[in-house]
Amino acid sequence: MSSESPSRPAGFEGLPRRTLGRQELRALVDRLAERPELWREHVAFSDDRRHYASLYRDEHVDVWLLCWTPRNDTGWHDHDVSSGAVRVVAGAVEENNPRIGGDPVRTVVSAGASFCFGPDHIHRMTGVEEGSVTIHAYSPPLVRMGQYSVDESGVMRRTVVDYTEELRPQDEVPAPQGALAAAS
């Protein structure tokens, strides 16, 4: 019996066998962006649903390719206990962060840029340009996420969703003044 660990596929062989921090996840998605042979075949687009493909998953990290059009929108969500990182490899996406009593903080992230976040991060992502492509990494691997909506009385609700479900905006009612402002 060998004490060697099983080999990992190309592009993932150097990953530590432990939970990765935010900056390590960012370095990972930045490295993967420079290796299109690992993800190019999975690129596809649809206005009806975001196209996404799992690139790698083990007990410590989860890596996805997501494809966007301007009509694709995740709705408000979190990543439960996972930290994450996103690298835009083509086009641009918009990240929105909620603010109580104000408009969301909007950031357009263009090709070549990346960002990372901890498990306390709530955001909403939308495609900005046709043909936008992002690489996402999460650690520990996603198991579930929280999807947020504001009900007719202005109360924010969190629904737990499985990591394999496509995130879409839940039915939203405009929030009353002073509550969480929903992105349009």
Domains, the chain, in order of start with CATH, read: 22-142 (2.60.120.10)
pLDDT-derived band at 11 (thresholds 50, 70, 90) equals confident
Find out whether 42 is annotated in a ligand binding site.
no
Q: At a CB cut-off of 8 Å and minimum separation 6, what does 18 contact?
A: 60
pLDDT tens per residue, range 119-178? 999 999 999 999 999 999 999 999 999 999 888 888 889 999 887 776 777 654 343 333
Find out whether 79 is annotated in a ligand binding site.
yes
CA geometry: angle 74, 33, 167, nearest 5 deg: 10
> In the β-sheet with 62-68, what is the strand arrangement from edge to edge?
51-57, 62-68, 132-139, 83-90, 114-117
* Distance between CA atoms of residues 11 and 109, nearest Å: 24
Helices marked H in the chain? 22-33
Is residue 180 scored above 70 in pLDDT?
Answer: no
* DSSP 8-state class, residue 165: S
Whether a cis peptide bond, with omega within 30° of 0, leads into 140 is yes
CB 146 within 8 A of CB 160: yes
The model carries a pTM of 0.85
CB 138 within 8 A of CB 83: yes
pLDDT value, residue 165: 74
Find out whether 123 is annotated in a ligand binding site.
yes
* Distance between CA atoms of residues 138 and 15, nearest Å: 13
pLDDT tens per residue, range 57-112? 999 999 999 999 999 999 999 999 999 999 999 999 999 999 988 899 999 999 99
Tokens 């996840």: give the residue.
Answer: 25
- Is 117 buried (19+), middle (13-18) or exposed (0-12) by CB count in 10 A? buried
pLDDT value, residue 171: 56
- CB-CB neighbours of 25 under 10 Å: 27
Q: Which residues pair with 108 in a beta bridge?
A: 94
pLDDT value, residue 181: 37
> Which sign, positive or negative, has the C-alpha torsion 136, 137, 139, 141?
positive
